[in-house]
Amino acid sequence: MPLRRWIAVCVPCALFAVAGAPDVASCQSVLDRPPNLSGGWLGPTGTLQFNFVHRFGVGDPPTRKVTNSPTFLLSYRLPAPLLLGFNYATSSDIAPSFPNEWEFFARYGNGPIALQGGYNQAAESFDAELTAAKTFGAVRAMAVGRFLSNGYTSDTSRYAVGAGATLRLSRWFALAGDITTLLDRRDSEDIAWGAGLQIEIPYTPHSLSLQVTNTNTATLQGVSRGIDQVRGGFEFTIPFTLSRYFGGRGRSKAVEGGGAAAAQGGEGAAVAMKAVAFVPSRIEITAGTTVTWTNNDPLVHTVTADDGSFDSGQIEPTKTFSRTFTQPGEYAVHCTPHPFMKAVIVVRQP
């Protein structure tokens, strides 16, 4: 029915109409998406992602049997804004004869829009999702439209629309919620909903969602349909930056500064990055001095000018970054992954 198709497309487009700024690509962790929406998440370039969604429900008395339905996601973010991956879920209820569900997908994100297409092997269904997302201060709002060519092995095309938001409480915490409905819901199908406390785990690349929902598996089909049970659960995200294993060593560039010559006075200044701070956080040097930052933490840091005039890129643990300051002035810098890491370099006339 064309009308359903239009609804599935137009709900995210309505949000797109008020959007504009690039948003989708910057979405990284569970703090940027609620339990049942991808939020257009792509992950960092060159990163292999392992995300683990675990949901469980408690059965009726007297046995109160706990049923578990984990969904594993493995994906890889290409240099383009394209994510390739699959979900593997067990205890799936998408297709009665296939309790183990595979979903292979590609997701493309650009600006405020992300488009996902894939194949659900259990339902033998081509499934797609259009996401629009927009950040308004501490709130990130998103809307989705979904198309399931063979929804729940019913031999019919199904459509779903949904919306969700995250509210960032601090750098480490966010609240998240979502609601999704299949169009022309059947009697056995409830409106899908989810609520989560989203947690960034300090000084690690991991994030954690503690969630309550009425969905079972975390594939597109799974998150589009509510079931008659409240489920608890969590999601844990684990990125593997492949360049740290293969090649890519010494990625922190040693030379910066727009072709400036090495320190004329032969003088250098050293700054440590340790315990997630620049030490010292303020240095005064004369023009021509080369400053070398050494990462003494087991984390990746950056030295990024607040005004964007220079950026070290990722400085791996034990690696250094140097820059020669030729122009007098005050240079405020921070670390991109840890914005509370701040420092000032004061450059005086020689």
Size of the site for Cu ion (CB under 5 A): 5
Minimal distance in Å, beta carbon 348 to Cu ion?
Answer: 27
Contact pick of 165, 208, 335, 347 for Cu ion (by CB under 5 A): 335
Residue 231 binds to Cu ion (criterion: CB under 5 A): no
Please state, as a whole number, how many other Cβ atoms lie within 10 Å of the Cβ of residue 204: 11
Q: Starting at the earlier edge strand, list the strands of the sheet with 289-295.
A: 278-279, 268-273, 289-295, 320-325
In the complex, least distance from residue 244 CB atom to Cu ion, rounded to whole angstroms: 16
Please state the closest distance from residue 300 (CB atom) to Cu ion, in A: 7
| Stretch in the footprint of Cu ion (CB under 5 A) among 44-52, 257-265, 310-318, 333-341 | 333-341
Task: Output phi, psi for 310, to 5 deg.
Answer: -155, 160
**Residue 290 or 304 with smaller CB distance to Cu ion:** 304
- Position 301 contacts Cu ion (CB under 5 A): yes
Task: Choose between 190 and 311: whose C-beta lies nearer to Cu ion.
Answer: 311
- 319 touches Cu ion by CB under 5 A: no
Q: How far apart are CA 126 and CA 115, in angstroms?
A: 13
Identify whether the C-beta of residue 280 lies closer than 8 Å to the C-beta of residue 271: yes
Tokens of 116: 């996902």
Residue type, 234: F
Cα–Cα nearest to 335, from 203, 243, 208, 238: 203
CB of 333 to Cu ion, least distance (A): 11
Nearest distance in Å: CB 305, Cu ion: 15
Give the one residue of 32, 338, 345, 347 binding Cu ion; rule: CB under 5 A.
338
Give me the sheet containing 342-348, strands edge to edge. 282-286, 342-348, 329-334, 304-305
Name the site residues for Cu ion (rule: CB under 5 A).
301, 335, 337-338, 341
